[in-house]
Amino acid sequence: MRRVKITLAYDGGPFHGWQVQPALPTIQGLLEEILSGIEGVPVHVAGSGRTDAGVHALEQVAAFTLVNPIPVENLRRAVNRLLPPAVRVLSAQEVDAGFHPRFQAKAKTYEYRIFREEVCSPFEWPYVHHYPYRLEENRMMQLACALEGEHDFTAFAAADDRDAEGKSKVRTVFSSELCRTGPHLIYRVRGSGFLKHMVRNLIGTLIEAGKGNIANLDVLPAKSGPTAPAKGLFLVNVEY
């Protein structure tokens, strides 16, 4: 048996997220279908996390177990030939049999892109949150810095089927920064892990700060702002 780790990029727009869902196109479902065809038996693909419907990935990490002796580079090419253009395996390597991309991840980085000008090109539209309205961006930047550190992010998490497990929603944010780059506001956050909709809810909260609706910008607010659209969010990388 061989354990194979892959790094992949995808445009999340055409998919209903990472996790397999009956009768819906998902990244995990697509990979499992292709790899099962290559292996001749069902293959389970584990991911580093479950990106939501519409969320993109620059470097998602996944792993699976195969008996097929095909060299990893040939496997990468074979899978890419069968994948749609919106998904690409960037690299593949053999790893220890016990490797799990979610349980062994040390940190993840996400990026959220807000387009601030009045007119948004149709070629940018699928990958940004178009918000041309007035915002005090310096207030947003101040609150972004206050998100660093260890916090209970319960108020910033959507309901999840794992909630029944009663696991802690305390997470550590190693870095949190919002900066202006041309017509874009770019929010980049690196942390020990992220809850369902957490980054999108943080963005909604930063926007509320920019609108002047949050008074204290030096601490994590007690309440989340509205959930920002998925299409502006990118999983940048996963660290091990």
pLDDT digits (tens, 9 = 90+) for 199-214: 999 999 999 999 999 9
- Assign 3-state DSSP to the chain and report helix, strand, coil percentages, each to 5: 25, 30, 45
**Which stretch of DSSP H or E encloses residue 72?**
helix 72-82
At which residue do the structure tokens 């390597």 appear? 93
What does the alpha-carbon distance between residue 44 and residue 229 come to, in Å, rounded to a whole number?
A: 29
Average pLDDT over residues 19-38: 96
Q: Give the residue among 107, 113, 203, 191 at the shortest CA–CA distance from 148.
A: 191
Q: Give the residue among 102, 81, 93 at the shortest CA–CA distance from 38.
A: 81
Assess whether 11 carries a catalytic annotation.
no
Q: Which amino acid belongs to residue 34?
A: I
**Sign of the C-alpha dihedral computed for residues 224, 229, 230 and 232 taken in this order:** negative
* DSSP category for residue 60: E
Cα 188 from chain centroid (whole Å): 12
What does the alpha-carbon distance between residue 224 and residue 157 come to, in Å, rounded to a whole number?
A: 9
Average pLDDT over residues 80-88: 98
Residue 163 above 90 pLDDT? no
Q: Give the residue among 85, 93, 78, 88 at the shortest CA–CA distance from 37.
A: 78
Q: Name the pTM for this structure.
A: 0.94
What does the alpha-carbon distance between residue 219 and residue 128 come to, in Å, rounded to a whole number?
A: 27
Residue 197 above 70 pLDDT? yes
**Sign of the C-alpha dihedral computed for residues 113, 178, 215 and 170 taken in this order:** positive
Q: Which pLDDT does position 159 carry in this prediction? A: 79
Residue 150 above 80 pLDDT? yes
As a whole-number percent, the residues of the chain with pLDDT over 70 amount to 98
At a CB cut-off of 8 Å and minimum separation 6, what does 122 contact?
none
Please state the φ and ψ torsions of residue 129, each to the nearest 5 degrees: -95, 110
What does the alpha-carbon distance between residue 10 and residue 197 come to, in Å, rounded to a whole number?
A: 18
Least confident of 36-40, 72-76, 158-162, 210-214: 158-162
Query: How many other C-beta atoms lie within 10 A of the C-beta of residue 150?
Result: 11
Least confident of 28-37, 59-68, 117-126, 154-163: 154-163
Show the domains of the chain with their CATH numbers: 2-95 (3.30.70.580), 107-239 (3.30.70.660)
Active-site option among 11, 52, 160, 218: 52
Q: Which pLDDT does position 142 carry in this prediction? A: 97
**Which stretch of DSSP H or E encloses residue 172?**
strand 170-181
